[in-house]
Amino acid sequence: MRLTVFGTGYLGATHAACMAELGHDVVGVDVDPGKVAKLSDGVTPFFEPGLEPVLRRNLDAGRLRFTTSYPEAAAHADVHFLGVGTPQKKGEYAADLKYVHAVVDSLAPLLERPSVIIGKSTVPVGTARDLGVRARAAASVDVEVAWNPEFLREGFAVKDTLRPDRLVLGVDGARERADWVAEQVREIYAELLAAEIPFLLTDLATAELVKVSANAFLATKISFINAVSEVCEATGADVTVLADALGYDARIGRRFLNAGLGFGGGCLPKDIRAFMARSGELGADHAVAFLREVDNINMRRRTKVVDMAARAVGGSLLGANVAVLGAAFKPESDDVRDSPALNVAGMIQLHGAVVTVYDPKAVDNSRRVFPTLNYATSVAEACDRADVVLVLTEWDEFTALGPEDLNPVVRTRSIIDGRNCLERARWRRGGWVYAGLGTP
């Protein structure tokens, strides 16, 4: 099939490349000429394992190209995916839909044949219905709006697109062409359906709520174990063993029960806040009031690590030399949006410390956000004469470290494990002062 994908950020570029990998003729569209030029050369403007080979293979095969031209995109296909960002509004919890509106307002008047716009972005419930009204008011032909939420994990985005856990499609059942929309999507994902990926056909509101509900649940699970870790710290209990014990319960499971610095990135924090904002607009804010505490618990972990760093250097960070290993919000990503690691590094610097950060992939992005921090090109350089070392992103390079690796370079043998990812007994045997979150 001939498809377009509007937006070539993390979601859009991945979706465009993977739709071409499924054999479709795909045009990716973006208003940023720099992004379009990079992608056209087979270079992703962000780090995502496995994506560049898929991108280059399909560019070479002629199944994929990128453009800034909306008229070209409108003429290319009748099925248009919407993958632009929905960031948090400045000074508010609500999602900013200006990029979504811009695509629909620009695309709809250019359509010359009956078409469908399929949303991938995470949006407040009710957005798809409103976009349908908006698109049909601007178009001279019949336009349908459907919603097909993404469930991508950074670091696993290609796998999650080509072999997802499930496919969800929301359609407006009151529209005469609702069945046609579903048929188009089934044809797009024919290979996935043949592989028996579950396909759920829903109304628009349910499809919108599935993604934000999934993120809210995961955020709640992470904050739950971090709340328990606070109790563990007060009692001397071990949250890692406790989580293992909980994980054997099939009703609970072990995934996302890792206590530590908490969640960040471009999805979970802003999505749960937008969920709270939209629920308030609908008069159902009481139903998700618990998410405010979920958010509070998560943010409290960051200040906890700053306090731990201060204690590790004698009570005051003023003049201390602090090494921070990790800047991305998670491993296998260069994403520093709302990164707990980078946030902690910045707060420690504001307390007067000299902070040196090293991350295998996220240094360039970090420098753009926090240019005043020092940045290193290796673990050894970051830890040179450090008074305390903080491990804040669980990259394999860091979890493989042992005391013997850092003994020659640090000034004080003190390490804070912000992700509970190190073998603490090994570090203590090596003569280090080890501190984790929720662990004795």
Residue spans per domain, the chain:
2-197, 212-295, 300-436
pLDDT of residue 134: 97
Lateral strand order in the sheet of 199-203:
64-67, 25-29, 2-6, 79-82, 115-119, 143-147, 167-171, 199-203
User: 81-91: b or e for each residue (b if 16 or more CB lie within 10 Å)?
Assistant: bbbbbbebbee
Exactly one of 18, 232, 267, 383 is catalytic; which is it?
267
Look at residue 114 in the predicted model and tell me its pLDDT. Answer: 96
Q: How far apart are CA 125 and CA 140, in angstroms?
A: 27
CB-based burial label for 142 (10 Å; 0-12, 13-18, 19+): middle
Helices (H), 61-203: 70-76, 98-107, 127-138, 157-162, 178-188, 190-194
Superfamily of domain 2-197: NAD(P)-binding Rossmann-like Domain (3.40.50.720)
CA dihedral 92, 98, 99, 101 (to 10 degrees): 140
- Stretches where the chain sits below pLDDT 70 are none
The CA distances from residue 166 to 13, 46, 161, 198, in Å, are: 20, 26, 10, 5
Q: Is 51 left (phi over 0), alpha (psi -120 to 50) or beta?
A: alpha
The Cα–Cα gap between 140 and 408 comes to 71
Count of residues in the chain:
440
Largest CA-CA distance found in the chain, in angstroms, rounded: 74
What DSSP character marks residue 26? E
Give Cβ neighbours of residue 257 (< 8 Å, ≥ 6 apart). Answer: 221, 225, 243, 246, 247
For residues 183 and 177, what is the distance between their CA atoms, to the nearest angstrom?
A: 10
Supply the DSSP symbol for 88.
B
pLDDT at 135: 97
Q: What pLDDT shows up at residue 155?
A: 93
Which one, of 386, 335, 381, lies nearest residue 362 by Cα?
Answer: 335
Provide the residue type at 240 as one letter. T
pLDDT given for residue 364 in this prediction = 97
Q: Is 267 a catalytic residue?
A: yes
How far apart CA 436 and CA 233 sit, in angstroms, is 10
Return the SS3 of 65: strand
- What CATH class has 300-436? alpha beta
Same fold, 2-197 and 300-436: yes
* pLDDT reported for residue 224: 98
Residues with Cβ < 8 Å from 104, sequence gap 6 or more? 82, 117, 131, 134, 135, 138
CATH number of the structural domain 212-295: 1.10.1040.10
Distance (Å, whole) CA 86 – CA 84: 7
Residue 422 backbone class (left: φ over 0; alpha: ψ -120 to 50; beta: rest): beta
> Which among 129, 281, 270, 160 has a CA at the least distance from the CA of 212?
270
pTM of the model: 0.94
Q: How far is the C-alpha of 59 from the C-alpha of 26, rounded, in Å?
A: 10
Identify whether the C-beta of residue 29 lies closer than 8 Å to the C-beta of residue 73: yes
Angle ∠(194,149,102) on CA atoms, nearest 5: 130
H or E element: which one contains 3? strand 2-6
